[in-house]
Structure 1
Amino acid sequence: MSGGDDVGGVDGGADETAQVMASLGTRLRAVRQARGLTLAQLAAATGISVSTLSRLESGRREPGLRHLLPLARAHRLALDELVGSRTGDPRVHPRPFTRHGQTWVPLTRNPNDGLHAYKQILPAPATPRTGSTPRPEQGSHEGHEWLYVLSGRLLLALGDHDLVLTAGQTAEFDTRVPHGIANAGDRPVEWIALYGAQGERMHIRVRPTAGRTRDAS
């Protein structure tokens, strides 16, 4: 490679950096607005003054690490995610995948605090059931889970307790308790799940009625 090519490569990198920095104010404003935060609220969360935040977003001040690090923490983004988008688009573009017969749709990127959100889907049974829903295989692991049923009927087996949750109902539990899920209806079941890294005491938000396999109410 010639010396002229080397210089061109350096200039190209400098141009790219300049483009990212030029669009950063728009990016910072878009991320804040997407999270529904006012300048005052973000100032309280970061320790950066409202006037400085305003200048950063308008491009009248170039941000340094002393600004970007607290902003990334407040928005729960990695630093490269905060500064890497030239479009100012804070949206997550999920890539669904299948695991254990379920479809998983990621709703978060890679947050630093270990919290992950997914939309999960279990298909309808291949053949109509004539009896009760078979109890799912259970597993346990460190962590904490919260789920919200969007549609269908979800069988949640927690330890020795079985609960059937329907649209609009939630459950919250310590994942160290053996647990498993199954489709308790004849249509697909969809729910939102949040997974946290820290285990907490199990707490079910629904009140089961009498009987082992129960509809939550």
Structure 2
Amino acid sequence: MATGVENVGPRLRAARQAKGLRLEDVAAKAGMSVSTLSRLESGKRQASLELLVPLTRQLGVRIDDLVRPDADPRVRRPAVRRNGHVVAPLTLEDSPVSTYKITYPPVDELPEMRVHDGFEWLYVLSGRLRLRLGEQDIVLEPGEAAEFDTRTPHAMNADGEAPAEVLSIFNASGERMHTHAAHD
């Protein structure tokens, strides 16, 4: 695994560009030459604390963000099963947004509608998903997506005889409610 130090330059450049700042402006405010900053960003100059501290102040980033080791990007969290649902995490545990592949089984009895803080975005991969949202009763086909405020009463289940596979993206409130409720 890489130590992260070799990526300081690209991370500096990305932080500067994300703020829409010019090389000349950041270098001047950090008290260094444009050439020094350019060489740091391109990896042609070794980063030191003496150079990084004023740059992090100008860019609003932490030194730890610049020198962190490169983490393994693979998601190795197990799928959880409960009541026929399969909830497979597709993001790392500490991701700011949680994404799951949820398989809804065909059921005879419709689930109870729920209300909670949060937002949900979903995309139907296969099968048909019945989304009850307030007074609406909608069937989503593969390739269709929906986005809604989860403070609106809602429930989902597979429509028909086959399971429905859905990509679901939640903010923190929605993730707690759906994924923990699905496998507690």
TM tier relative to shorter chain: 0.5 to 0.7
1:53 corresponds to: 41
Name whichever of 183-192 and 98-107 sits farther off. 98-107
Name whichever of 46-55 and 89-98 sits farther off. 46-55
TM-score by length of 1: 0.55
1:211 corresponds to: none
Change in Cα spacing, 1:166 to 1:26, as seen in structure 2 (3 Å) is farther
Give the letter for the 2:47 counterpart: R
**Structure 2 residue matching 1:43: 3-state secondary structure:** helix
C-alpha deviation, 1:60, in angstroms: 2.8
**Structure 1 residue matching 2:68: 3-state secondary structure:** helix
2:80 corresponds to: 97
Q: Which has the higher contact order (CA 8 A, sep 6+)?
A: 2
In the alignment, is residue 142 of structure 1 matched against residue 117 of structure 2? yes
Gaps in structure 1 of 5+ consecutive residues? 1-19, 33-38, 73-78, 126-132, 200-217
1:154 corresponds to: 129
What is the CA deviation profile of residues 160-211 of structure 1, one whole-angstrom value per residue up to 9, with x for unaligned ones? 2111101100011000011111111222211111112489xxxxxxxxxxxx
User: Counterparts of 1:182 and 1:134 in 2: how far apart (Å)?
Assistant: 9
Change in Cα spacing, 1:146 to 1:181, as seen in structure 2 (3 Å) is same
Give the letter for the 1:23 counterpart: T
Name whichever of 88-97 and 183-192 sits farther off. 88-97
**Structure 1 residue matching 2:61: 3-state secondary structure:** helix
How many residue pairs get aligned? The number is: 152
User: Counterparts of 2:137 and 2:9 in 1: how far apart (Å)?
Assistant: 46
Percent of pairs identical after alignment? 36
2:30 corresponds to: none
C-alpha deviation, 1:40, in angstroms: 5.8
CA RMSD of aligned residues (A): 3.8
**Structure 2 residue matching 1:176: 3-state secondary structure:** coil
TM-score by length of 2: 0.63
2:4 corresponds to: 24
**Structure 2 residue matching 1:146: 3-state secondary structure:** strand
Give the letter for the 1:60 counterpart: Q
1:116 corresponds to: 98
